[in-house]
Every structure is written in structure tokens, then in C-alpha cells.
Amino acid sequence: MGNHDVVVAGAGIWGCTLARRFAEAGKRTLVLEKRPVVGGNVRCETDAETGIEIHSYGSHIFHTHIPEVWEFVNRFVKFNGYQHKVLADWKGKLYYLPLGLALVNKFFGTELKPCELAGFMADEERSKAVFDAFFRGYTSKQWGRAPEDIDPSIIKRVPVRSNYDVNYFNDYWQGIPADGYNSLFERLLDHPLIEVRCSSPFELAPGTDSLERPVYYSGPIDALFGYVFGHLPWRTLRFETEKLDMRDYQGTSVVNYTDAAVPYTRIHEFKHYHPENAAVMNYGKTVIMREYSAEWKPGDEPYYPVDNASSRELLERYRALAAKVSNLNIGGRLGGYRYYDMDKSIEAALAVAI
């Protein structure tokens, strides 16, 4: 691995943040990425004809309330101030998510005031009706479970807003990098002490108990050990992208399809992530992406870890193996086998001792 002080294996947001911190601390840093490009699942591609930034692995909206994270990313990119709003299609009618006055009043044909919402939704029949419409079918598609196996009590854990705020996130800061997500990764890695090698997966030889220099690995932890105990379970996603001869298809960036009879979970329309770009917004074509959820199998891209007793037990067995290898550090979404929002990945990387 040459004359490097530290190796970062995986050029997603956790790995790229770590690489930058190591370099700024004066450490010669080698970044290995198995894909031909950096960026992990936040990678985007720009459609040459329309100029639309397409999120290759599904929509990513940066949002955070962590000052240190916001300060860090703003060193490299500026955000456009996009505010994320999600619509839900139920039986051909559109409702704003998350659950709040806008959704409840439209769904039940009421005009509730903020102080009345909690009492109104305390009724079990109403709670079940909302759950059945907006959560049961969507969750069954997302996690591959039959609708009757989804517990209606889940709705009690869903935040209910007693106002008309239809912003999907509560975080203080949110937006999309004005120059696109790829610019964030390019600038994070633009340092004289960072060397990037794409199409270069990190491999751990069987029986290795010590590494020459510190390695920070963010690939799948089970893959690192050759799946010796078996595969950790994941949910994967499949996408169908289509360019349409119309200026605007759905009027917003994301519409969730909550009816189990609709095979896809949501439709993304990417031009809405850059409302500041008049040329893109007014162009006479648009790009949409239908998203389908499926059970993961070897060779698929892992997206969402399946959290249950057996997966937790399997994960601990792999973590025990990793703990026996000196100089090996594991993190990120795949390595940690947990779903991270982007800001939480950066926060975790900023917390690593340098």
C-alpha cells in the first residue's frame, strides 16, 4: 500500500470525511474504493441533455441540526436551501407527509385546530384508518412483510405534528449542494496528502491478526471475512429511470405510493431538488425514477439492514472477529450494519480519534 500512514477503505461520506481529517492532521492517506467512482450511495450523475442531477441510488437530502457537521460541510460546498416535502399517494389522492393537520384534515374531511388533533387521533378506529392508508402497505413493500403482519401500534411511534408544517425534516439546516453532491466528495478528497485509488477493493487475507498501518473500513463487515458465518440480511432497492417529454411530471421531488397494490414504493423527480436552476426547471423534459424494494441476495447492493435477533447475533460474531485484528477499525453504514443519515455519518467520522 505504499508509503502511507493510514488507509481508508470505502469512499462514501464516512470514509471521505475521515480521509480529509487525516490529511489535515498531516497523515499521508490512501483511499481505496471498490467502485470506479467515489461517493458511495450518494453518487449522482448529470443528464447531459437536461442538466438534471440524478441521484443514482435514490434521493438524498442533506439535513442536520448538528452545528459541527453543518460547519464542516460548508467548508466544501454551499447548499441551495431546498426544503424537503413529501407527498403520499393513497388511492389516487395526494396527502402531505408526515402525519399532521394537513393530512388528517384532508383524509377525514375535518377542520381540526392544533389543540384538537391529539384527542381526535386517540380514537383507535381513526388511528387504524390512517395507519392502514399511509403506513401498512408502504411498510409491507419496503420490508417484504405481508400487510397483516405489520403491527398497527407502529403508528403510535410515528411523530404527529399538531400544525400545518409539511416540511419532512425537523432539522435546522437542510438542502442540496448547489454544485451537486459529487462536488462534495471531490473537494473532500482534494488534498495533497490524499491518494485515491478507485476500482480497488480492500481485502483481508484469511487468518490476518494484524495490519501494518491503521485501516478504516466501511464496506460490509461480513464480506471482509469472506461470509464465514453467513450473509447478514439486507433489503435492497431496484430503480427504473425514465426521461419524459414534459416539463414537470409530479410537481414535487418525491411521492410515496402507500397502497400495497402499487408495486413501487415511490417516484423521484430530480429537477425539483434544484429550484434555483431556472434552466433545468423550465426545460421541456424531466427525469423520474421509480423505486422498488426487494429482499437482498448476493450481488445486490445492500441498502437497509434487517434488524432482528438472528441478525444481531450474526453481527456480534463478525464484530468479535474484527476485534481480533489489530489496526482494523470498522464504521460507516455497511461496516456498522446500521442505517445512517448523512449528517450522522459525518458526525461519527468527526468523532474518530485522529
Cβ neighbors of 340 (< 8 A, separation 6 or more) are 14, 332, 333, 348
What are the residues facing 294 on neighbouring strands? 236
Q: Torsion over CA of 276, 280, 282 and 287, rounded to 10 degrees?
A: -120
Catalytic residue among 53, 291, 343, 347: 291
Distance (Å, rounded) from C-alpha 194 to C-alpha 269?
35
Annotation marks residue 249 as catalytic: no
Q: Which of 43, 136, 266, 333 is catalytic?
A: 266
Look up 312 and say whether it is catalytic: no
Q: Active site residue: 126, 187, 235, 290, which one?
A: 235
247 carries an active-site annotation = no
Distance CA 178, CA 182 (A): 11
291 among known catalytic residues: yes
Q: Which residue among the candidates 138, 161, 318, 333 is catalytic per the annotation?
A: 161
User: Which one is catalytic: 5, 132, 259, 341?
Assistant: 341
171 in catalytic set: no
Contacts of 324 (CB under 8 A, 6+ apart): 209
Active site residue 157: yes
From the list 75, 111, 148, 157, the catalytic residue is 157
- String of b and e for 262-295 (b: at least 16 CB within 10 Å)? bebbbbbbbbbbbeebeebbebeebbbbbbebee
Residue 183 DSSP one-character state: H
One of 164, 172, 227, 339 is an active-site residue; which one? Answer: 339
- C-alpha span between 229 and 223 (Å, rounded): 10
C-alpha to C-alpha distance for 169 and 82, rounded to whole angstroms: 11
Contact 329, 1 (CB under 8 A): no
- Please say if 216 is a catalytic residue: no
Catalytic residues: 157, 161, 235, 266, 291, 339, 341
